[in-house]
Amino acid sequence: MGFEQFGIVSFTGVTKAEQFVEFLKNNELRGTVCAQCGAKFFPPRADCSSCLSDQMEWFPITGEGALISHTKATFAPAGFEKDVPYRLGVAEFADGIKVFGRIDGTLPDEAVKAGMKVKVRMLDLGEERLTYEFTAA
Amino acid sequence: MAKVGVIGVGQSAFVRQYPGSIRELAFEAYREAMKDAGVKPQQIDASVVCSAPEYDKQRTPAGLMAEYLGLNPQPTFYVESVCSSSSSGLRTAYALIASGLHDVALVLGFQKMSEISSAESQERMGRGADIQWEAPFGTMMPAYYAMYARGHFEKYGTQEEDLGLIRLKSSTYGQLNEKAVFRKALTLEKILEPKYIATPLKMMDCCANADGASCIILASEEKARDLAAKPVWIKGLGMATAPINMAGRDSFSGLRCAQAAAKRAYEMAGIKPSDVDVAEVHDCFTIAELMAYEDLGFAEPGQGRELIRNKETYKEGKIPVNIDGGLLSKGHPIGATGGSQIRTIVLQLRGEAGDIQVPGAKIGLVHNIGGVGIYGNVSIFGVE
Ligand SMILES: [Zn+2]
C-alpha cells in the first residue's frame, strides 16, 4: 500500500515520496531535505530544485506553528460534501516551512485566526486512509 | 522590439448554456473579429487556440477550430494557462509576429463550461489544485481566494463591505453590457447577504461559470497600418508564475505573479501605473479585483479599499476598472476570458466603447490571472 492512502480523497497513488504515508502512520509529519545542499521542502519532493540532486532525506515537522490564513468552506467539490463545513488553512513552522491542510473543526470560530498557535495531529480516517490536520497548540 | 498591433476583436455573448457546439460558439467570436478587421481567412497566417482542457470533450481542439474557421492549411496550436489562457495566447501570437515568422495571427479563446455535467464539473473543481498534496483536503477556487481575502483583512483591516462595493460597481456596469451573463441590478444589502461559500467570501463575491468565446487578430506594424483604420499597439507584455502549492507562497495579501508581471509590462511599455487610462482586471472574485488594484500599483499595498470607497475605479474616477462589468457580471468562460478583457480595452482605445467610453483613453491595461495566482499576465495597449 502506498500514497493512495493519503487524504480524504486520493487523486494520485504513485509518487517516489510515498514514504510520507509511513511517517503519518507513525504519528509524524515529515518533509524532505536535500542531502547535497540542505534545501528543505514541504510538501516533500524526490528531486531538489535548488541543486538538482535526487539524494533526499526526511526531516520531521514538530512543535508549534502559526496560522497564516484560513477559511471555512460551506461548499465542496465532489467527494467532500459530507464534510461541509470544513476549514482549510496554511501554517508556518520552524525554518519557515509552510504546511497546508484542514483545521480542527471542533474549534470555535473565534479561536481560529491568523497568528494562532497550532500543532499538527494525524487522523486515522478508517479503511486504511490517513491525513493530518491543525489543532490549537 | 518590433511593433505588433491589434487589428480586430470579437466576442460571443457570454451565456449560461450555449445552444450549440464549441466550434459554433467559437465561430461567433471569430466572425465578429474577422469583420472588425476586414480580413479573409487566407490572410490569417497562423492561429493560437486557447481553452482549459478539463472542460472540453473534444481532444486537441486547435485542429478542429482551424478546420471550422477555414484556417487550413495554416499552422495552429493550443495554449493553456487555465483562466489566463487567451492572454498567454496573446503573448504567443505576439512572439510569432515580432519574430518575423508570421505577419497576421489570430488568438481564439473559448470555453463551453456547460459541455460537462455539473457532477463532472464538481469533480474537476477539486483538481484545480495540486492533486498530490492539496486536493486530498477538499480544495476549490473560492476557498483559496478566501484565504487571500482573510490574509488581506487580517493584514490591512479590509472589510467584507469593501468587497461588496466592488460587486456593486460590477453590477452597475454589468447591466449595460449586452454580452454579460449577469445583468441584474444589485443593492449592497443583497450583495452582503451572509450566504457564505468560503468565509469571508459570499455568493455575490464569486463570478459565475459561463459559455463564451473571444477572438483577437494581431498584425505586424506594416500589415496593421495597411489593414486597420486605427490599430491598437501592444506596448508591454509581462508574464510571471508562482508556486501552485500554498505552502510555497510567501504572501496571502497579494499575488506575486501579478506583481512581477506588472513590473515587466510597465518596464516594456515605459510607463507608470498612473499613466493607465482604463484597466480590465481579473475579478473572478471581488478580493481578486481589490488585490489587483495594489498589485498593479493603482494603490499602495493595503490601500486598495480607498479606491473603491471613493469610487475611483468607476468610469468617472482616477482609474476606471472593469467598467464592462468584469468577470463578476460578464461571467468567466475560462479560455475566453482574457480575450474578452482585451476586446474591451481595444474598443476603449479606439473610442468605440459606447456608454462606458472613458473620454480620450490612450493607454489601457489587461490583468489576467490563471488559477489562484499560478499564472499572471499583464498586457498594456496604446494608441498613437
Ligand atoms: Zn539540493
* B76 has a pLDDT exceeding 80: yes
Q: Are B4-118+210-232 and B127-207+234-382 in the same CATH fold?
A: yes
Specify the pLDDT at position A1. 57
Question: What is B127-207+234-382's CATH number, 2.40.50.100, 3.40.50.720, 3.30.70.2740, 3.40.47.10?
Answer: 3.40.47.10
| Closest approach of B285 to chain A, Cα-based (Å) | 15
Specify the pLDDT at position B125. 72
* B369 has a pLDDT exceeding 80: yes
- Look at the alpha carbons of A130, A132, A133, A136 in this order and tell me if their dihedral is positive or negative: positive
Convert the pLDDT of each residue in B263-280 to its tens digit.
Answer: 999 999 999 999 999 999
Quick one: average pLDDT of B8-29? 98
Question: Is domain B4-118+210-232 annotated with CATH 3.40.47.10?
Answer: yes
Across chain A, what does the average pLDDT equal? 96
Any idea which residues of B carry the catalytic annotation?
Answer: 83, 332
Nearest Cβ partner for A69 among B138, B151, B247: B151
List the CATH number of the domain containing A111.
Answer: 2.40.50.840
Q: Give the 3-state secondary structure of chain B.
A: CCCEEEEEEEECCCECCCCCCHHHHHHHHHHHHHHHHCCCHHHCCEEEEECCHHHCCCCCHHHHHHHHCCCCCCCEEEECECECHHHHHHHHHHHHHHCCCCCEEEEEEEEEHHHCCHHHHHHHHCCCCCCCCCHHHCCCHHHHHHHHHHHHHHHHCCCHHHHHHHHHHHHHHHCCCCCCCCCCCCCHHHHCCCCEEECCEEHHHECCCCEEEEEEEEEEHHHHHHHCCCCEEEEEEEEEECCCCHHHCCCCCCCHHHHHHHHHHHHHHCCCHHHCCEEECCCCEHHHHHHHHHHCCCCCCCCHHHHHHCCCCCCCCCCCECCCCHHHHHCCCHHHHHHHHHHHHHHHHHCCCHHHCCCCCCEEEEEEEECCCCEEEEEEEECC
Convert the pLDDT of each residue in B59-72 to its tens digit.
Answer: 999 999 999 999 99
Q: Are B249 and B148 in contact (CB under 8 A)?
A: no
C-alpha grid cell, residue B238: 509581462
Contacts B193 to A, Cβ<8 Å: none
**What is the complex's ipTM, to 2 decimals?**
0.97
- In the numeric block, the cell 467559437 is attached to B26
Residue in chain B lying closest to A68 (CA): B151
* B118 has a pLDDT exceeding 80: no
Instruction: Count the domains in chain A.
Output: 1
Nearest Cβ partner for B126 among A79, A113, A131: A79
A100 in B contact zone (CB under 8 Å): yes
Convert the pLDDT of each residue in A42-76 to its tens digit.
Answer: 999 999 999 999 999 999 999 999 999 999 999 99
Q: Determine how β-strand B4-11 pairs with β-strand A30-34.
A: unpaired
Q: Where are the domains of chain B?
A: 4-118+210-232, 127-207+234-382
User: In 3-state terms, what secondary structure has residue A12?
Assistant: coil
C-alpha grid cell, residue B202: 459570499
Q: Which site among B120, B123, B124, B132 would you substitute to test the A interface, given the most A Cβ atoms closer than 10 Å to its Cβ?
A: B132
Domain carrying residue A35: 3-136
* B373 has a pLDDT exceeding 80: yes
Contacts A90 to B, Cβ<8 Å: 147, 246-247, 249, 252
Q: Are A123 and A131 in contact (CB under 8 A)?
A: yes
Across chain B, what does the average pLDDT equal? 96
* B122 has a pLDDT exceeding 90: no
Convert the pLDDT of each residue in B188-229 to its tens digit.
Answer: 999 999 999 999 999 999 998 999 999 999 999 999 999 999
